[in-house]
Structure 1
């Protein structure tokens, strides 16, 4: 079995973009060369990685498994290259990062002082907002994003799982009762983020239940959901990092704890589509990846 790093990088880009031609263009490959490289990779692995139709390209089950390994290989190579050069390069310069307001304020800002003391020659510009900023157009080095990523030319590195759970206040549960199954949610007031009222929950065996929920309050701002929960207005779906304090104090309690909310979300560091990552961006990612290991998903 043999294949080169360029074929691995091509496969990762095809998976990210959902398009063979665009991935090939990024790497200055002709359509024929692009197809040949993917076919050679599949031949070397002895399995089909991509489902190809005239309209779309998607990963096979084996393709999804191999994708995580391919990303790890490329990250290791990139880390090795950075470590070889870091001894000769000083970590310096302006670092421009954007993140959602709630997450940035609670999970990034508290560690900024330590980060800048560790890297005193970095100048950090942190933009906190809840809009989906075009980081290439706006000149950002990194964006911290939560959820499922849509196909794009951006490069992404997973920093942490983003565990979510159903919660409510003791006051609401005393008044309305405790749901014992996903179906019981139809009889409760559910606080919804955005326009979607469809929730999906998976049990420990992987069985999925889809529920269309209803309630008297809907908002596009995550912190407003927390405020509404604390006012006994209903049941909400929240990231654990966002409500950990209230779980500890008992102001909010888990609902249906044996179920997992779908889709499962991740926390990503997203950067422009250049293979070489600035040392200051790598320093930020590695610093906060370590912080998130202990700070997130408790509860």
Structure 2
């Protein structure tokens, strides 16, 4: 009979962590215990769930189908536990989040720290990455992202406005001049986020334009791009959440303000919207209030532009 919840949790953690040794560390159990639980589970179901070698592991076809069911079972158990916590008016358990790296360091980390201080029984696992994560695969409670989401299986909640700006340091502009039209950008040093040396920067406003620029600096890290711009290395396109304070302080200067860029609102993405654990519901409300209170960049942006949502996860 399949009623061994610790074995199911061990199996789910092995898949999520990528190895039994990593799962053992996450579960704070001896490796022998984790291995035994997996062996017992495979014996009960009568199937091999994982193909294992000395270097890697992979789900078998049967294991992949079983894993999807196990995640649903564990989610139901977690919801049942959350209901009990709710009845006790306690916020505890593990809150699993992901957020863009630079936004996370600047804005999400202080919010998470304050929320946990209000609820000492809560544990928080925060992943900072500019890669779009698959919540259904990672088992995370929430992803904080810039941009719209097309997946109908996901639930979206708007957190705060956002718009992107083209900007550069005054030192760079003194040497290279200030562009007055998007077409001039091809003659400037450009800092590009991603893995493609050539990319399109698109502009709206009174005169729509699309300019294909070549990267003088190419980086996969938004914070590195931000730092390069502050060093006077070139022009960069960033979220106002990342560079807004630098614009207000004069460390960076916004360029082509009459040519607004397609915005990507700041949103919380949830794998589902029903029966959310109390910790997720309360943190979502707390996050929205704090981010709304943190908004302070009307002086450097167009209010209408901040409400436009045309693209998904554009460079920040």
Question: Same fold, TM exceeding 0.5?
Answer: yes
Shift of 1:256: 1.1
1:226 maps to which residue?
226
Superposition map of 1:1-299 within 5 A: 89-194=89-194, 195=196, 197-203=199-205, 205=206, 207-262=207-262, 264-296=263-295, 298=297, 299=300
Q: Check conservation: 2:208, 2:259, Cα contact below 8 A.
A: no
Shift of 1:228: 1.6
Shift of 1:261: 0.8
CA distance in 1, matches of 2:130, 2:179: 32
Deviations 1:240-286 (A, max 9, x none): 11123322332211111222112x10112111135222221111111
TM-score, normalised by the number of residues in structure 1: 0.65
Q: Check conservation: 1:240, 1:297, Cα contact below 8 A.
A: no
1:81 maps to which residue?
none
| Distance 1:215-1:117 versus aligned 2 partners, 3 A rule | closer
Q: Check conservation: 1:193, 1:218, Cα contact below 8 A.
A: yes
Shift of 1:169: 0.9
Aligned residues, how many?
213
Deviations 1:42-66 (A, max 9, x none): xxxxxxxxxxxxxxxxxxxxxxxxx
Q: Check conservation: 1:188, 1:215, Cα contact below 8 A.
A: no
Shift of 1:231: 2.3
SS at 1:260 equivalent: coil
CA distance in 2, matches of 1:129, 1:202: 28
Runs of 4+ in 1 over 4 A off after TM superposition: 85-89
SS at 1:97 equivalent: strand
Q: Check conservation: 2:101, 2:223, Cα contact below 8 A.
A: no
Shift of 1:106: 1.0
2:27 maps to which residue?
none
| Distance 1:297-1:185 versus aligned 2 partners, 3 A rule | farther
Greater C-alpha Rg: 2
CA distance in 2, matches of 1:182, 1:270: 33
What's the C-alpha RMSD, in Å, of the aligned pairs? Answer: 2.4
Gaps of 5+ in 1: 1-84
